[in-house]
Chain A
């Protein structure tokens, strides 16, 4: 029990103070500063007095309505994310169904998980340069492989083709992340009450029925979490496309983060335009987080409702039993 006369609550403030200070200085201030820069004329390498534009939203307007490169970068980012996420989720779900199927009883799951997760831990920059070397033209490992297998007569210039370049970038993202997603989903299935699976198997449900009727619905929160974190990760995709092809060919792998980086730090010093683009990125990310936040908050209330319902059901069943 707490001794009288000593109030410990101030330690709550003291212990969280370093976090708050660091957040204010290194996160909140830079975000607000970025937002302000987005409304100004800050351009060029030589600092000059900042002026808010006559029309403060000019930078945003130009970006959304006129800047073809920005629009392209948004479309590319979405495209690269979708082409990687759908197969990533598909394969992760398939592997989850297999690894958690008691009848199949897959051996060596630990070793498989270690192998499939491995690309996720290696530096994305290294992987990007590695793949660009593997797909080298005219002679590179992939071209050699294609020739050995008799799939091609002459060397193929993979990285010159827009569709192939996008496909490879998406493939790298897919390859780096499906293991991660699969491990999260398997852990989620392990968290489901085993009694539910038992009763399903007693009722004669087969593997697919169990998976689609019980496993998937129970994973709803985790699937949403994976979806949102993957979307925000995809929104900020930078390392792989930047070092794989530097956005080429013909800007087909230029992402929004690369656009921001390119505007500000690659010789044109368009800080205001880059800041406006950052803010648009921030707004999209904030909207996505808000969805997740809302769903995760709501869950406790939903859970409570569920238990109340279950209790009522049990009571009714008990009452019936008595009769």
Chain B
């Protein structure tokens, strides 16, 4: 009996070692490409050509200089991306919360059909309508305008679905009734009482909406041809062009600049982001 116990303890220790080794290797696999990116952003092209190094060098400023000389304007790109992502995020979370509240708090005839409809259109990809969308925007002279990238955020079926599930679990209609007795109008009740109650869900959805808009390449690439309107992902696509062919240091610098804001956001909010990912899957 003792021997069996000892044997299983040894087996457990071996198993545990394997698990940790694999997990650490996977973590390294996540970090290394980005590590090389940040390190190479500080190395000269000659150093990069000479071989791999995991230690930073001293050419950060000269790489940045070369990058900025070639019409790469990270500040403009950052501002455009930020304008789009922040506005779209606010519209998405506000109107999705409003729609979800309308679905949960009121009894109306088309409530169930409307919810069924939202579930049905939740997974339609943007690519399916891109040609019609582009032609539509072209006709009303909305290309090279940030609005077509912002306004569609009002209708975000997946976020409405999530907000509805959240409200079903947390909202008590007695609060709404009490507000009515106090003479609060329906809009005021939503803005003053319900929205603050929904903050945890809003925060989670806001992070994901912001990141999704920030990372979006397809729609901006179609709609924006004017350089002053370029977003960060379009700027990244410029780094693939011929003008950077031999300037490896500045390519890595450009990549590092586009990724840096996301790394900062991620490490500040990682706990909430991981929790949010977990919630997204458990759509029970």
Contacts and interface: CB of A to CB of B under 8 A. Distances in A.
**Do A and B interact?**
yes
Interface of A: 1-3, 8-16, 18-23, 26-27, 29-37, 42, 95, 98, 103-104, 106, 110-119, 121-127, 129-134, 136, 139, 141, 144-145, 147-148, 175, 179-180, 183-188, 191, 222, 225-226, 228-229, 232, 235-236, 238-239, 242-243, 246, 257, 260-261, 264-265, 271, 274-275, 278-279, 281-282, 285-286, 288-289, 292-293, 296
Contacts of A2: 177
Nearest to B120: A293
A151 B87 CA distance: 50
B127 A11 contact: no
A225 B281 contact: yes
B201 interface: no
30 contacts: A11-B102, A12-B102, A13-B110, A26-B152, A29-B136, A30-B130, A31-B128, A104-B15, A113-B274, A118-B31, A122-B262, A124-B217, A125-B236, A126-B233, A130-B37, A130-B255, A183-B281, A228-B123, A235-B125, A238-B217, A243-B240, A257-B127, A265-B222, A275-B131, A281-B125, A281-B127, A282-B128, A282-B129, A286-B124, A296-B119
Contact of B132 (A31, A110, A183, A289): A31
Contact of B155 (A22, A116, A180): A22
B108 A123 contact: no
B240 A122 contact: no
B55 interface: no
A257 B131 contact: no
Tell me what chain B mostly uses at the interface: helix, strand, loop, or mixed.
Answer: helix
A180 to B, nearest CB: 6
A232 B125 CA distance: 8
Contact of B51 (A136, A148, A185): A148
Interface string B178-201: 001000001000100000000000
Given A9-B109, A122-B259, A185 B127 contact: no
A155 to B, nearest CB: 11
B259 A126 contact: yes
A261 B220 CA distance: 12
Interface in B240-284: 240, 248, 251-252, 255, 258-259, 262-263, 265-266, 270-271, 273-274, 277-284
Contacts of A239: 215, 217-218, 233
A285 B121 CA distance: 10
A16 B99 contact: yes
Contact of A132 (B23, B131, B240): B240
Given A118-B266, A243-B237, 12 more contacts: A12-B111, A22-B151, A104-B19, A118-B31, A118-B34, A122-B263, A124-B233, A125-B237, A126-B255, A145-B52, A187-B278, A257-B127
B106 A133 contact: no
Contacts of B61: none
Interface of B: 12, 15-16, 19-20, 23, 26-27, 29-31, 33-34, 36-37, 40, 48-52, 95-96, 98-99, 101-103, 105-111, 114, 119-136, 148, 151-152, 154-155, 157, 160, 177, 180, 186, 190, 211, 214-215, 217-218, 221-222, 232-233, 236-237, 239-240, 248, 251-252, 255, 258-259, 262-263, 265-266, 270-271, 273-274, 277-284
B155 A27 contact: yes
Tell me what chain A mostly uses at the interface: helix, strand, loop, or mixed.
Answer: helix
A117 B132 contact: no
Given A22-B95, A133-B255, A236-B127, A27 B152 contact: yes
Nearest to A35: B132
Query: A-B pairs with the 5 shortest C-beta distances?
Result: A184-B281, A15-B102, A33-B132, A12-B108, A34-B132
